[in-house]
Amino acid sequence: MPRTRNSVETERVKISTTPWVVETLDVLAKTGRFGKSPSEVADELLRAKLREIELEGWLQKRSPRRKRRRKRA
């Protein structure tokens, strides 16, 4: 059964990292604990770290960006 489409707006980010990180993301994806793919695992771990940084006061809390609506003529 196909997965449902992600209802959260996303953007692509390309990073370069070490083979160890790639392998670790793959291993974690196989457990399913943080996501079902290496990309999902990386996203979850990055968001967790950013929340931690925010709680420590290093990052000012911001509300999520909203998609701009076009004005109708």
* 29-44 confidence digits (pLDDT tens): 999 999 999 999 999 9
Judge whether residue 48 has pLDDT over 90. yes
Q: Quote the pLDDT of residue 69.
A: 60
pTM of the shown model: 0.70
Q: Quote the pLDDT of residue 70.
A: 59
| DSSP class per residue in 3-38 | PPPP-S----------HHHHHHHHHHHHHTSS-SSH
Cα 41 from Cα 68, distance rounded (Å) = 29
